[in-house]
Chain A
């Protein structure tokens, strides 16, 4: 069973700064099967990145994903006020079919 670890747990930044979030898998994950979601309080998660680096429909280009194997990164180039949220990575595999990471909270410094 693949376990996803995210770091840091909380990232305190100011608007305009760059955010770098990490997702590490306990076993190698195909890049095609790694995604990132954003979740704001009281809302359902929203798919940001799939296939490790492809932006979902309507996602601004300040969001980018990279990585392979066991190490993946979500980068927000310049934080906008609406980007302060919790971010989850997720993998799609065989068993279990889906695994989520514990999340990284990006809050305002």
Chain B
């Protein structure tokens, strides 16, 4: 059974750095073709893809947020970490992590439940 779960602070102040952790089970991030991505959704708005890390440590970022994002993985702990610097109230959103595989659908087959992050002083 594949599961993913996001964790991190629910409230951050403007200018702070956000660190979110995705802890997963049921698959390995050392398997060829597997990746874990981060997607966010401001309240009442659309989904926005943020970042993706592959089994081979290849990393991809949203061009509009690239300067603020860092994605890393710890294969032994089954975790992926996303950091976003210089947080602003417009970054208030539910943040999801999701499983991606280039050998299955190529899309996000499994998602975490999401974690709501509010940016406010």
Contacts and interface: CB of A to CB of B under 8 A. Distances in A.
Interface of A: 1, 32-33, 35, 37, 39, 44-47, 50-51, 54, 56, 88, 90, 92, 95-103
Given A33-B106, A45-B108, A50-B105, A96 B63 contact: yes
Given A44-B114, A98-B49, A100-B47, A50 B107 contact: yes
Given A35-B107, A96-B49, 14 more contacts: A32-B106, A44-B96, A44-B112, A45-B47, A45-B96, A45-B108, A46-B111, A47-B108, A51-B106, A56-B109, A90-B107, A92-B106, A98-B39, A102-B46
Interface residues of B, number: 21
Contacts of A95: 63
22 contacts: A35-B106, A37-B47, A39-B47, A44-B111, A44-B112, A45-B108, A47-B105, A50-B107, A54-B105, A88-B47, A90-B107, A92-B107, A96-B60, A96-B62, A97-B52, A97-B60, A98-B37, A98-B39, A98-B52, A100-B46, A100-B49, A102-B46
A88 B109 contact: no
7 closest Cβ pairs, A-B complex: A44-B111, A98-B49, A50-B105, A100-B47, A35-B107, A97-B60, A102-B46
Nearest to B48: A100
Nearest to A103: B46
Nearest to B64: A96
Given A97-B52, A98-B52, A101-B46, A45 B37 contact: no
B32 interface: no
A26 B49 CA distance: 18
Given A1-B63, A96-B63, A44 B109 contact: no
B36 to A, nearest CB: 13
